[in-house]
Structure formats: structure tokens, C-alpha cells
Amino acid sequence: MHKQDYSISSLDTLFSPRSLAVIGVSSDPNTIFNAGNLFVEALQDFGYGGQLYLVGNSGGELRGLKVYKNIVDIPGDVEYAIAAIPNQNMPQLVEDCGRKKVKFIHLFSSGFGEIEDSMGTGLQREMLKIAARYHVRLLGPNCMGVYCPQTGLTFAERFSRTAGHVSYLSQSGGQSIIGIREATQRGIFFSKVVSYGNACDINECDLIEYFTHDPDTGIITAYIEGTSDGARLYRALKEASVKKPVVVFKCAATEGGRHAAVSHTSAIAGSNKTWDSLLRQTGAIRVHNVKEMFDVVTVLQRCVKPEGLKTLVVGHGGGTCVQATDDCCRAGLTVPLLPVKYRQALMKIYFTDAGNIFKNPVDINPYWGMEFAGEAFKAVADWPEADVILIPAVPEQNPFRSREIQYQIYVDTFIQWVGMSSKPTVVALTVNTMPGADGLPERSFQKMVDAGLAVFPSVQRAATAVHRVYQYHQWLKKHTSKT
Amino acid sequence: MHKQDYSISSLDTLFSPRSLAVIGVSSDPNTIFNAGNLFVEALQDFGYGGQLYLVGNSGGELRGLKVYKNIVDIPGDVEYAIAAIPNQNMPQLVEDCGRKKVKFIHLFSSGFGEIEDSMGTGLQREMLKIAARYHVRLLGPNCMGVYCPQTGLTFAERFSRTAGHVSYLSQSGGQSIIGIREATQRGIFFSKVVSYGNACDINECDLIEYFTHDPDTGIITAYIEGTSDGARLYRALKEASVKKPVVVFKCAATEGGRHAAVSHTSAIAGSNKTWDSLLRQTGAIRVHNVKEMFDVVTVLQRCVKPEGLKTLVVGHGGGTCVQATDDCCRAGLTVPLLPVKYRQALMKIYFTDAGNIFKNPVDINPYWGMEFAGEAFKAVADWPEADVILIPAVPEQNPFRSREIQYQIYVDTFIQWVGMSSKPTVVALTVNTMPGADGLPERSFQKMVDAGLAVFPSVQRAATAVHRVYQYHQWLKKHTSKT
């Protein structure tokens, strides 16, 4: 296959095009669902700052803008095009875009290398040839494109306008959207997100290399199904990991998944064993879904570096604390016994350990008063052995208090505790699957997120994320002391 | 230690006492938090149908009932007592209850075998001696007691009044409450729940044996930290498993967890290896938290028996389906390729596989019309190879549609699909951690639960539950064909 060979900096325009044409819109008022129209709506509502042009067979006007019948008819320059037209018309469009000196085409449409019919692969090859001739670069096909809050690029109107320092490349459009939504709700914001689909031209290596050198990217996250150049990916990941954390959700890891990936994005997924060792050697942090991805980012952004795995578990609820300890140990952390000195300090505060546990886990009841809880936390939090502090709680476990009070006391106590801690400290607030429709758990999470806490919906997820970040730092230490 | 030796049927009164005394109430209007008062409130509001008596030093009157200063002052019989008084007063109370011919005392209070101070163990031993003398049986100490919707026993006013066929024994009070709340929201209701704490007399074996022979119990669930009689537990579990499924959340499975359990319920947790083989040999279904416990119950109650592990994945979203396939395979299911005949049938319905996957996973877009989606499901659902059908979806993945429409179309489609399926069929609807406070995901789950569907918040959990139920049936086949 043809492969454009440009320098990394040439991707800049992909994220900050001064002009953009959406191709495949319809001005027909009877149109019910038109992807082109939806892109226009999203871009306008989101506030894309460049020059926006529309192209569609209908001509006419849409949302206050003229609809040109062909991209070549547009009077001004077009740096970036979003193409949502039938697959068989795509080669001609690439030709037209080439003549118009478009720099990047985002091919939204599917029906190329990923379908069973060999016509799809033929079309993809043809587009690439034309694109090479005109030096136009292709994103996709079969993907959602670019989200960049700083420049107003988006593929959904309801994404956050706040820019951050995480960049995310995703072979799947759906996983890119889920990721953005998951992250946003947890106080994680993006510099750049690219849904890159079949990767016929711009691929995971291009994007990782670009993000490695991008000063606005502090953490790279990636959903990858397959690669066509394992050696380059290895180099790209390793170079990136030395500079900034790279979190990789490698999907299509099983045999069934690999079949699926071919039909999804035409990806050649490769064996899981190969990927596992590739990711381990390059320092990439491997996760198995989007939630775990942003669990890791949460620890990276909201916790100081964990210097070891010894964990102090301080929370509320006997069963909760026993389970939390199991879950920590299963995730690779250790929960060593608290020295007598600290246990005595807790006895001095509470007079009895009846109804509490003072051993690590430390189970203290914040309902007995926040002053006591604060004093108790302070008494154990500076135990020099502890590398990490994990705070577990399950608000729904209290039989008598109102739900409002349960959540409120936990949230207030944990915000107080984290404020007193100088160690990596994570909060695991476990709620029911369907906690009723009153929004109380969500509001409670949000309050902690807004206060800067690293919050997780289970101990298992919190502990796993901490362990993964610790392992990354271990890798980094080894690979930076060498160089 | 003393151990009462009664026949199984003698536990009947524990669940249906005709008279009940709550000991440790206060009629002082300035009382802020009194566990006895909260039990009274809960029992009255919940509608306990027997004779309710109150006992407390204050005397006077509370919530329309006379407060007796001592249980022996009560004019009528008392079959069951709930004792929420300081630990050091407990032996005298057991003595008084003995004289009053109380049959069961639920010892709510903590500060016995589980605390560091040997006084606690001493008190526990003393109580047991007195209880043996009077033939009164002890539940606890350090536990929440009994929830039995049929007879109106409860330890929280907000538990469901609907009775079902699951019974649940829990060494942890918190885990019993979490379990009840988790289950109720998923359409799972209880016959009997017992939080049994330190198990100084009534223990996990008594309860499992009772539930095995209880005609109102169809499924036994258990949260266990430790046992003092492994051989009896082995026999009890094996006898139970042959008759009905037993789901066991064995906590304190790690070294850290075992330290914690001693301080929590004085449990001797034993090695995880021993437990693992004990549970496997007895046919118990092992889970690692309360959510997984009711995942298994959901499959048991809402799916026909899985005859094998071959899974047809039919859902929406490319990345979602690839990940779902991975998650199924990781959980022990298999996702074999769909034969050409079925793929052709799907092509006939949709004309193209662009934007879809027709291989298993089958990725079809319900937004293209529910008639199409229904026809497509029908075309693959009767594939004789498939033992299980798993339906994955992530509503938040759609960029353009309103959330309301996304959820609604999924819910309607999946209810339609499950209605057409004669195989064990599970729905995995993955939502964000904090899906905003509009209650839409919760309402959508509830709608599917109410329609009888087996719904899970992730493929991993759905697939794991199916796999566990399949393994139980394999065990059962082996152990019932032998006898």
C-alpha cells in the first residue's frame, strides 16, 4: 500500500485547520438523518473558529451557509475536508480534493477495507493512489475524525469545551466517544482526540509520534485493534513512554476478537502474546477497557508518584475493609500490619476497637464525628511504611441513616482526609449498579472529582490503576537511568 | 466453646417469632442515636406482625409502646430478643432472657471475640455458657440480625417488602445490607437474610443446612469470612449444592484480608487454596463481591440453563463488539465464527456489511429501524451451534442522537430480542461511572429488569456469571448422575 511520508509537524493542520469543508450535506428540509449535516451542526454549536464550507449535491443553503455542489467550486482555500458520502464516490472526491489542494481528508464513511466484498479494499487502494499523487493525507476511512477543544474541532456537539493535556487515538469511533465522555465526567480533559478507523494512511504510529513531540500532550492514551508495522510501533511506543505515560487499550486480544477486528477496522490484530510483550517492553501501560484507561489517567494526574506498593487501607465498614484488603492484594498491592504504636494511637482516640478495626485495614466510623475521623486519619497517615493510601467505602451499607447523610458524611470526610495526605491517595466509593434515579451517587462523585480527588467506583479498579502506574514508574526508572 | 445442638427445624422461630423484644431502647427525647430505637422504628415501619415489646433503662414510652426496665417485667411471652446494649451488660441480659424463656437472642452489639482485649472473648464465652444452661440460642454478636419480608422482620426500614426465593447468610452486616439493596434493584427478592457476625452459636453451617431444607429457599447466597468447622461446612455445602445453587462470596482470601477478618468478626479465615478446593469440590459457585453474587443469581433466575459455552454476540458498535468478544473469551466463553448461511441472511436484510459486522460478533445498528434489527436477530438467534446469546451495547457511544433516544431504542430493541430468544440470553449495557444525574441509565436498566431481562453493566460481568452457572450445572450433572 502507498504510504505518505511526511514529517511529524505536518500533522499540525489536522488539529488546527484554518478552513474546513463538510462534504455530503443536504439542504433538503425533509432530510431525516444525514451524517454531514450532523457534523455541521456539531462544529457550529461547538464553535469551530475557522472558515466552514459545505458541499452537497442538493446545493441551496443549510444553517446559514451556502451549499456548494462540488468542493472545487469553493472560492477560498480548504485545508481540511470531512467526507460523509457513499464509498464508491470517494475516489473521485479525493481527486477533487487533490485539485483543490486540501491537506487532510477525514473519511467518515465505511465500506472499504473492512467489508467482505473486495470492492471495498479496491476503493481504499484507489483512494490512496490518488491521495499520494496530490500529497493529500487521509484519516480513516470508517472513523469519527478529530476532537480538539482548543481549535473547536469536534464530532459531537455535547463534548466538553475545556482543553486538557491528555491526547487519545482510537481505532474505534465508539470507543473514542465513550472515552471522551468517561474522562470528562472524571475531570480529565483532552488536548487532541483522533478516531482513525481503518488507518489506510494516518495510523497509530503517526499519531503516537506526533503526540510524543506535542508540547500540549502530557499523557497519551490509545485504543488499538491492530497495526501494520509492529517494528515502528515498538519504537514509537518506547520513545513516547520515556517522555510521557502511554496507556494502551489493546483490543482484539482473543481469537474471537481478532475475527471481529478484521470486520470492524480491517485490523490485523496479531497474537495477544506478541502484543503483551511489545507493550511490556515499551513501557506502555496496558488496560482492558476505557474505564480502566481513565482509571490510570486519574492516578497519573491526581496522585503523587507511588514509591512502593505497601498500602494503608483506611475506610469504613468491616466487610468493606476486609474485601478492600483482598482486592488490594489481588491487584498486586500489599497491606502490611500496622505497628502497635499506631494502633495504640487509634485506641486513644476511640477508647475501644469494638465496631472498628485498627490493624490495617483501619475501619473507622466517620458517623462518630468528623473530628474523630480526622484525628484518626492523621494518626495513621504518616506511617512511613505506607507508600499508598486507599480509602474504601460503600455508602449504601448503612441501615439507618438517610442516603443523603451517608453520602454527605463520606464525601466531606474523604475530602478532608485527602487534603491531609502527602502520599498517593485514592478513594474507592462503591455504589450499586442502579442506585435509584436520584443522582445522589453521581453528585457525590462529582463533588470529590471537583475537589481534585482520585475517585474510583471500586477498590479493585483503584488498586489496579495504582499498581499499573507504579509499574510504569519502575520501567521508567530502569529505562531513563540507562540512557 | 459450647455449641447448642438443636434440630434444623428449631431455627423456624428465628424467622417467624410471634413476639419480639428490642432491648436497649431509650424514651429520652434528647436521644440522638440509639440503635435499639432505630430497630423499633424499622420494625414498626416495615410492619412486623407479631407482638413487639421494648426494654430500656429509661422506662417511659416510645413510639406508642411502653418501655419495660427489664425483659422479665414483660407480661407476655417473648420468643425473640434484639439486644443493643453495652457488651459488659450482655451476660446478665442472656441470663434474664433465659429466665424469660426467650428462644433466640440477636446480639447486635460488638466488643466480643473480635476485639483485641481478651475481655471480649471472655464475655462471649460467659454468654454462651449461660445460653446453654437456658437452651437459648444466640445470633451474633456483632451483627445486624434477620430480614424476612414474609414475617416483617428487618434491620432497615427501607428494605423491600416483596418476598422472593433467595436466602442470604452474611458474616458481615454491611455486606448483608449492600447485598439486599443490590439484589432488590435487580429484581431479586429474598426469603430470608441473616447477618450472623461472630457466629458464637448460630453459624454458617446451621444456616446453610436450614436453607437447604427450607422450601421457600430456591437459591442460597453467602458472604463468609471463616469457619470453625471445615468438615461440617464441606458436608453442608455439598448437600445444599445438589438440591439448589449455592453462591459463596468467600472474603478474607488474602493474607491481609485474613488479618482483617480476625478483627472484624473474629473469623479464622484459613488459606485461600483450601477454600478454593473446598468450594470447587462442593459445587458452590464462588464469587468475589456482592455484585458478582447477584450477577450469578440473575442468570440462575432469568435464563434457561446454558447447555454449553458457545456464545453468539449480537449487539451494536464495532469497538463495543470487538471488546465484547474479548471479554467473553477472557471469561471462558467461546465466540465461534458464524456460518456463511447466516451471514448471507444478514446481507439480505441490510444489503451491505459496511458499518456492520456479520461474523459473530454480529454488529447491527438498531437505529436503522427496529424491524430490521428484529429480523436480523431472528436470522441468527436460532443458529443451533449457539448455546448462549450475549447482547452488548454502550448507549453513550452515539455522537449525534439525544441520550434519551439512544437509551430508548436500545431498551426497546433488547426487550424485543430477548422475547424472541429461546436460549440463555444476557444483556450487557455499559454506562459511564458517573452518567450525569438525570437517572436515565438507571431507569433504562429498571425497564429491562421489570421486563424480566438478565441485565448487567458490563460484558465481563455478564459473561463471567454465565460461565459460573454453566460450571455449576456441569458439577451438578456429575454429582447427581452418580447418586
Please provide the average confidence, as pLDDT, over all residues in chain A.
93
Q: Between residues 171 and 230 of chain A, which touch chain B (CB distance below 8 Å)?
A: 171-175, 177-178, 181-182, 185-186, 223, 225
Do β-strands B454-456 and B362-363 pair in parallel, antiparallel, or remain unpaired? unpaired
| Cβ neighbours of A260 (radius 10 Å) | 32
Please give the pLDDT value at position B229.
Answer: 94
Q: Which residue of B has its CA nearest to A185?
A: B434
To the nearest whole Å, the CA of B212 is away from the closest chain A CA by: 25
Please give the pLDDT value at position A436.
Answer: 61
Who's near A113: CB < 8 A, 6+ residues apart? Answer: A120, A121, A124, A141, A198, A200, A266
ipTM for the predicted complex comes to: 0.93
Name every chain B residue with its beta carbon within 8 A of the beta carbon of A175: 319-320, 323, 397
**C-alpha distances out from residue A143 to A35, A83, A102, A148, Å:** 12, 11, 19, 15
Q: Beginning with the edge strand found earlier in the chain, give each strand of the sheet holding B145-147 in spatial order.
A: B145-147, B190-195, B163-170, B219-224, B246-250, B285-287
CB contact under 8 A, A433 and B185: yes
- Taking alpha carbons only, the member of A219, A218, A194 closest to residue A206 is A194
Strands (E), A36-119: 51-55, 61-62, 65-68, 80-83, 104-107
Dmax (CA) for chain B in angstroms is 83
pLDDT above 80: residue A481: no
pLDDT band of A434, cuts 50, 70, 90: low
A380 phi/psi in degrees, rounded to 5: -110, -25
Extract the C-alpha cell encoding B207. 444456616
- Taking alpha carbons only, the member of B324, B374, B379, B315 closest to residue B347 is B379
Q: Is the CB of A282 inside 8 Å of chain B's CB atoms?
A: no
Q: Beginning with the edge strand found earlier in the chain, give each strand of the sheet holding A190-195 in spatial order.
A: A145-147, A190-195, A163-170, A219-224, A246-250, A285-287
| pLDDT (tens digit per residue) in A57-82 | 999 999 999 999 999 999 999 999 99
Please give the pLDDT value at position B446.
Answer: 92
Please give the pLDDT value at position A406.
Answer: 87
Coil, strand, or helix at residue B96?
A: helix
CB contact under 8 A, B325 and A438: no
Rg (CA), chain A: 26
Pick B225's closest partner by Cβ from A225, A322, A439: A322
Question: Rounded to whole angstroms, how far apart are CA atoms B267 and B263?
Answer: 8
CB contact under 8 A, B352 and A225: no
pLDDT band of A2, cuts 50, 70, 90: very low
Q: Which amino acid is at B123?
A: L
| Cβ neighbours of A101 (radius 10 Å) | 12
Q: Is the CB of B436 inside 8 Å of chain A's CB atoms?
A: yes
Place of cell 484480608: B257
CB contact under 8 A, A175 and B265: no
Helix, strand, coil % (nearest 5) of chain A? 45, 20, 35
Pick B318's closest partner by Cβ from A120, A172, A446: A172
Q: Are A453 and A416 within 8 A, CB to CB?
A: no
To the nearest whole Å, the CA of B209 is away from the closest chain A CA by: 23
Q: Is the CB of B326 inside 8 Å of chain A's CB atoms?
A: yes
Extract the C-alpha cell encoding B394. 454502550
| pLDDT (tens digit per residue) in B432-483 | 756 566 788 888 999 999 999 999 999 999 999 999 999 999 999 999 875 4
To the nearest whole Å, the CA of A370 is away from the closest chain B CA by: 16
To the nearest whole Å, the CA of A207 is away from the closest chain B CA by: 19
A23 has which bridge partners?
A55, A83
Dmax (CA) for chain A in angstroms is 83
Q: Between residues 47 and 86 of chain A, which touch chain B (CB distance below 8 Å)?
A: none
Q: Print pLDDT tens along chain B (483 aa).
A: 444 545 555 899 999 999 999 999 999 999 888 999 999 999 999 999 999 999 999 999 999 999 999 999 999 999 999 999 999 999 999 999 999 999 999 999 999 998 888 999 999 999 999 999 999 999 999 999 999 999 999 998 789 999 999 999 999 999 999 999 999 999 999 999 999 999 999 999 999 999 999 999 999 999 999 999 999 999 999 999 999 999 999 999 888 888 888 888 888 878 889 999 999 999 999 999 999 999 999 999 999 999 999 999 999 999 999 999 999 999 999 999 999 999 999 999 988 888 889 999 999 988 778 889 999 999 999 999 999 999 999 988 888 778 888 899 999 999 999 999 999 999 999 987 565 667 888 889 999 999 999 999 999 999 999 999 999 999 999 998 754
| pLDDT (tens digit per residue) in B395-419 | 888 887 788 888 999 999 999 999 9
To the nearest whole Å, the CA of A433 is away from the closest chain B CA by: 7
Q: Is the CB of A317 inside 8 Å of chain B's CB atoms?
A: yes
Q: Which residue of A has its CA nearest to B340?
A: A116
Question: Rounded to whole angstroms, how far apart are CA atoms B250 and A431?
Answer: 20
Pick B443's closest partner by Cβ from A178, A355, A437: A437
pLDDT above 50: residue A85: yes
Q: Is the CB of B113 inside 8 Å of chain A's CB atoms?
A: no
How far is residue B432 CA from its own chain's centroid? 24
pLDDT band of A369, cuts 50, 70, 90: confident
Please give the pLDDT value at position A218.
Answer: 98
Please give the pLDDT value at position A403.
Answer: 83
Phi-psi region of A37 (alpha: psi -120 to 50; beta: other; left: phi over 0): alpha
Please give the pLDDT value at position B2.
Answer: 43
Please give the pLDDT value at position B22.
Answer: 98
Please give the pLDDT value at position B9.
Answer: 56
Question: Rounded to whole angstroms, how far apart are CA atoms A267 and B335?
Answer: 18
Question: Rounded to whole angstroms, how far apart are CA atoms A151 and A390?
Answer: 38
Q: Let me know how many helices (H) and strands (E) chain B has, helices first.
A: 16, 19
pLDDT above 90: residue A355: no
To the nearest whole Å, the CA of B38 is away from the closest chain A CA by: 7
Residue B145 is classified by DSSP as E
Q: Is the CB of A111 inside 8 Å of chain B's CB atoms?
A: yes
Do β-strands A357-358 and A362-363 pair in parallel, antiparallel, or remain unpaired? antiparallel
To the nearest whole Å, the CA of A156 is away from the closest chain B CA by: 5
Question: Rounded to whole angstroms, how far apart are CA atoms B12 and B32?
Answer: 35
**C-alpha distances out from residue A291 to B89, B175, B197, Å:** 50, 25, 35
CB contact under 8 A, A251 and B178: no
**C-alpha distances out from residue A380 to A59, A339, A393, A424, Å:** 71, 10, 18, 14
> Model-level pTM?
0.95
Q: Beginning with the edge strand found earlier in the chain, give each strand of the sheet holding B137-139 in spatial order.
A: B61-62, B65-68, B51-55, B19-23, B80-83, B104-107, B137-139
Please give the pLDDT value at position B436.
Answer: 61
